[in-house]
């Protein structure tokens, strides 16, 4: 295990380019098992979760090549249908192989997926949707998915789950007839997966809305696609620059995505401007909470797209510790997302935790350095941000958890002026 050592008080400024979207890369890699032809993915982020997903595909017998940020996967030689338990435990996205593996190869066996422990992450929506298509699931400690007759179906999801939507769509593209998926997730990475599948020969319409229509085809071919920028990574670095008083220029960003982030960040006084595909965050921003109408305490809550992403909730809470005023945060999706706020309180943050889903943050509060342990990807990044503004030297243990979702985070922060280093 590695640790990160951060000395606060340095201003972060410069030009930043977001790596490929982690949440798009993982399902797009899973989609490669739907064809015998090569699938080429460019701008793949160099993170632990991607390497774990490639290891799973390799263990199944696919030909896997990774050169720089380009991955090539050919499942023509795929021989196995069971994913080793240890590989399943590494990454949440192992569940994404259930639908495509069963649909294309008749069967899939896997253990409960790993990933961040941020609360109960139910799989019922996956099982129910796949069953409607003709894929039966059984088992508790070890899941077995078996394909019967794969037929299109009308599917109403009981929650707008991103991974369940992706799993069901990847199975439905090979089903006989037409499938409609209601209450589908419409996050940018779900749209990217659908565009890749269409490039492979699928017939999916409705991307960007919560109703998807999938006309099944008999086979899919290969494709060459480029993964879009990771807006969670970009949002984290924008917050880091704003909290330290620096300026940041972000290249090649999808403007419509950052419209979703602009309002919640704006409530904390973090503002930027966009011109085409370039975003500019000015230096020396005055972080001040913007009250709701009638001088009411504002609320920042997460939600399904185009709501504020849960993956940025931890970062926004740290930002609020440095903004003048009070803010209520409502984490609706995961009951353990906010467990890390105890560490912020130890650092001097003024936070009242109302219950597992809500905290009230009052700022600005001077933070002091401390030693802490990262419990998950996003909380780990939030701890880095807190350490960047704290007085003194902080130590963040279990840096490996951050590496699962952020590519070479300490190197990229150092390029912007941070005093951060990695140690065993």
Catalytic residues: 116
Q: Residue 73: which of 104, 21, 22, 30 has the closest Cα?
A: 30
Q: Residue 266: which of 251, 286, 245, 294 has the closest Cα?
A: 286
Is residue 43 within 8 A of residue 227, CB to CB? The reply is: yes
Q: 198-229: buried (b, 16+ CB within 10 Å) or exposed (e) per residue?
A: bebbbebebbeebebebebbeebebbebebbb
Backbone angles phi, psi at 144, to 5 degrees: -120, 120
Q: Cα(408)–Cα(237) distance, rounded to whole angstroms?
A: 13
Is residue 292 within 8 A of residue 299, CB to CB? The reply is: yes
Q: Cα(308)–Cα(326) distance, rounded to whole angstroms?
A: 19
Q: Is 66 exposed, middle or buried (0-12, 13-18, 19+ CB in 10 A)?
A: middle
Q: Which two tokens stand for residue 4?
A: 């990160």
The CA R_g of the chain, rounded to the nearest whole Å, is 22
The DSSP call for residue 309 is P
Q: Cα(19)–Cα(324) distance, rounded to whole angstroms?
A: 32
Backbone angles phi, psi at 146, to 5 degrees: -125, 135
Q: Cα(325)–Cα(95) distance, rounded to whole angstroms?
A: 42
Please report the DSSP string for 390-404 in residue order.
SBSEEEEE-THHHHT
């Amino acid at each position: 295990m590695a640790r990160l050592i951060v000395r606060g008080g340095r201003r972060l400024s410069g030009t930043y380019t977001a790596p490929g979207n982690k949440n798009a890369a993982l399902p797009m890699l899973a989609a490669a098992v739907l064809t015998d032809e090569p699938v080429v993915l460019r701008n793949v982020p160099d993170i632990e979760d991607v390497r774990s997903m490639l290891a799973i595909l390799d263990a199944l017998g696919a030909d896997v090549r990774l050169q720089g940020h380009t991955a090539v996967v050919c499942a023509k030689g795929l021989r196995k249908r069971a994913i080793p338990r240890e590989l399943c435990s590494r990454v949440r996205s192992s569940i994404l192989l259930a639908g495509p593996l069963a649909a294309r190869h008749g069967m899939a066996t896997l253990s409960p997926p790993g990933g961040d422990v941020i609360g109960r992450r139910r799989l019922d929506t996956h099982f129910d949707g796949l069953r409607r298509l003709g894929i039966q699931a059984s088992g508790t400690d070890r899941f077995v998915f078996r394909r019967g007759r794969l037929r299109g179906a009308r599917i109403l999801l009981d929650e707008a789950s991103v991974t369940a939507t992706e799993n069901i769509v990847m199975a439905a593209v090979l089903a006989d007839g037409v499938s409609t998926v209601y209450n589908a997730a419409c996050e940018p990475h779900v749209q990217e997966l659908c565009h890749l599948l269409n490039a492979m020969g699928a017939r999916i319409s409705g991307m960007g809305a919560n109703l998807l229509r999938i006309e099944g085809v008999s086979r899919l071919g290969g494709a060459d696609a480029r993964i879009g920028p990771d807006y969670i990574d970009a949002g984290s670095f924008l917050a880091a620059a704003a909290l330290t008083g620096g300026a940041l220029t972000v290249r090649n960003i999808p403007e419509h995505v950052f419209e979703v982030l602009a309002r919640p960040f704006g409530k904390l006084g973090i503002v930027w401007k966009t011109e085409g595909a370039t975003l500019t965050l000015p230096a020396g921003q005055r972080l001040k909470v913007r009250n709701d109408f009638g001088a009411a305490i504002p609320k920042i809550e997460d939600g399904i797209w185009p709501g504020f992403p849960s993956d940025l909730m931890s970062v926004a809470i740290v930002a609020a510790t440095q903004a003048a005023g009070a803010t209520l945060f409502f984490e609706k999706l995961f009951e353990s997302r906010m467990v890390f706020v105890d560490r912020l309180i130890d650092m001097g943050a003024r936070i009242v935790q109302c219950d597992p889903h809500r905290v009230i943050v009052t700022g600005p509060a001077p933070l002091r350095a401390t030693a802490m342990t990262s419990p998950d990807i996003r909380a780990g990044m939030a701890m880095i941000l807190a350490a960047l503004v704290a007085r003194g030297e902080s130590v963040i243990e279990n840096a490996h958890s951050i590496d699962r979702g952020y590519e070479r985070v300490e190197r990229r922060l150092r390029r912007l002026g941070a005093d951060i280093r990695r140690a065993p």
